[in-house]
């Protein structure tokens, strides 16, 4: 499996029942009422997510929103859940954090073909510092890694470059091909 470089080379045998950590770019503009004003980035992530769920993967989505300094409610990913669920045609669950015991329990409950959205990874300062321990905690949630965050691919952050060190295979999503 080490020669596989893109999500399209992964088939049902690689994905069914597997926990797949997918770094997406859901950094969308929100108005003062936290309504999405442009969902282009959400729509761009859908093909990769649908491909993975279609093969029975348990999808764990990770993204950032804005440049929060610690936990900042206006930068929560919660307002994105209804639109993400609508575009996928299935319910998306959101975690209250991106690491920790609660997140681990939610990951264990993801059904095959299900989707869990982790809370904004930038709520942790370790994300932008590419902290190895934070990257290991993120990686421990999954069996393999898909990077579909074109807008952040050039950044060496824990949820992009860091996680890839600990999860094999690590492949590109459709947006990155």
Model confidence over 139-177: pLDDT tens digits?
Answer: 999 999 999 987 776 678 999 889 999 998 888 888 776
Residue 137 is part of a domain; what is its CATH number?
A: 3.40.50.1260
> Is residue 2 in a domain?
no
> Is residue 1 in a domain?
no
Cβ neighbours of residue 34 closer than 8 Å, sequence gap 6 or more: 74, 79
State pTM to two decimals.
0.94
Q: Are 64 and 152 in contact (CB under 8 A)?
A: yes
Q: Is 99 exposed, middle or buried (0-12, 13-18, 19+ CB in 10 A)?
A: buried
Model confidence over 8-48: pLDDT tens digits?
Answer: 788 877 899 999 999 999 999 999 999 999 999 999 999 99
Q: Are 82 and 26 in contact (CB under 8 A)?
A: no
Number of domains in the chain: 1
Say how far apart CA 7 and CA 177 lie, in whole Å: 9
């Amino acid at each position: 499996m080490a020669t596989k470089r893109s999500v399209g080379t992964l088939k049902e045998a690689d994905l069914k029942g597997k926990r797949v950590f997918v770094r997406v770019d859901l950094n969308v503009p929100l108005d003062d009422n936290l309504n999405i004003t442009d969902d282009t980035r959400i729509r761009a992530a859908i093909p990769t997510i649908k491909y993975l769920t279609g093969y029975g993967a348990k999808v764990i989505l990770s993204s950032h929103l804005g440049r929060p300094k610690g936990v900042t409610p206006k930068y929560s990913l919660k307002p994105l859940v209804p639109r993400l669920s609508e575009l996928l045609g299935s319910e998306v669950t959101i975690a209250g954090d991106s690491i920790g015991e609660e997140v681990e329990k939610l990951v264990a409950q993801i059904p095959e073909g299900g989707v869990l959205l982790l809370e904004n990874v930038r709520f942790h300062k370790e994300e932008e510092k590419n902290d190895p321990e934070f990257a290991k905690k993120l990686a421990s949630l999954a069996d393999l890694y898909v990077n579909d965050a074109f807008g952040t691919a050039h950044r060496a952050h824990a949820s992009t470059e860091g996680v890839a060190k600990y999860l094999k295979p690590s492949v590109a999503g459709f947006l990155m091909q």
